[in-house]
Amino acid sequence: MSNCFVCQQKGKPVKIVTLQNLLKTEVLAKLNTTLNYFFCGEENCPIVYFNQQGQIFIIEELKVPVYQKDKSKNIPVCYCFNWTRESIYQKIKETQQNDVENSIKAKMKAQLCACEIKNPQGSCCLTNVHQTIDNYSSEFELLNDDEMIVLTQN
C-alpha cells in the first residue's frame, strides 16, 4: 500500500538518493535509508515524501520548491537545466517556437541531466515541461492573433 496518508492518492516510488540530495540538512537524520519512500504529486497536498511506516516529509523540508505543489511562475519545471514556468514562457514568446523541449532532449542525450538528484519527483521532467507548454498554448494564441507558433516539434 503506497497511498499518501493525507490525500490518499497513490505515491510514486523514489530512490533514496533523491531524498538524500533534496531534504534539508536539519531533517536529513530522520531519513531511514533502509526503507522505501514514495513521492506524492498531488497539487493540494503538503506531503512530498512518505514511507509505508507512516513517516512523512513535507514541502518545507525540501531544499527546492516542488513543481507539482506550487503554481508560481518562478518554480522550476526542469530542475537540471533551470527552466521555470516563466523562463519557458519567455523563451517561446521570444522565439515563437517550442525550442525548449528539444533543448532539454539534446542535453539529456548528452547525459547532462541528473533528475534523480535534482528533481523532487526523482525522474525526468519532460512530461511536466510538455504540460507547462500546453497550458500556455491558449495564451499564446490570444497574444498572437495572426502568428502561429509551433508547439510540437519532434
Q: Using CB under 5 A, pick the residue from 22, 23, 45, 113 that binds Zn ion.
A: 45
Cβ-based burial of 106 (10 A; exposed 0-12, middle 13-18, buried ≥19) = exposed
The reply on whether position 4 binds Zn ion by CB under 5 A is yes
Would strands 76-78 and 83-84 be described as parallel, antiparallel, or unpaired? antiparallel
The reply on whether position 48 binds Zn ion by CB under 5 A is no
Q: Using CB under 5 A, pick the residue from 14, 22, 47, 100 that binds Zn ion.
A: 47
The reply on whether position 51 binds Zn ion by CB under 5 A is no
The reply on whether position 92 binds Zn ion by CB under 5 A is no
Q: How many residues bind Zn ion (CB under 5 A)?
A: 7
The reply on whether position 100 binds Zn ion by CB under 5 A is no
C-alpha 96: how far from its chain's center? 24
Q: Using CB under 5 A, pick the residue from 3, 7, 105, 116 that binds Zn ion.
A: 7
Residue 2 beta carbon to Zn ion: minimum distance, rounded to whole angstroms: 11
Closest to Zn ion by CB, 56 or 108? 56
Residue 95 beta carbon to Zn ion: minimum distance, rounded to whole angstroms: 37
> Long-range pairs for 67-71 at CB < 8 Å and ≥24 separation?
67/119, 67/120, 67/121, 67/125, 67/128, 68/41, 68/42, 68/43, 68/120, 68/121, 68/128, 69/42, 69/43, 69/44, 69/45, 71/43
Binding site for Zn ion (CB under 5 A): 4, 6-7, 40, 42, 45, 47
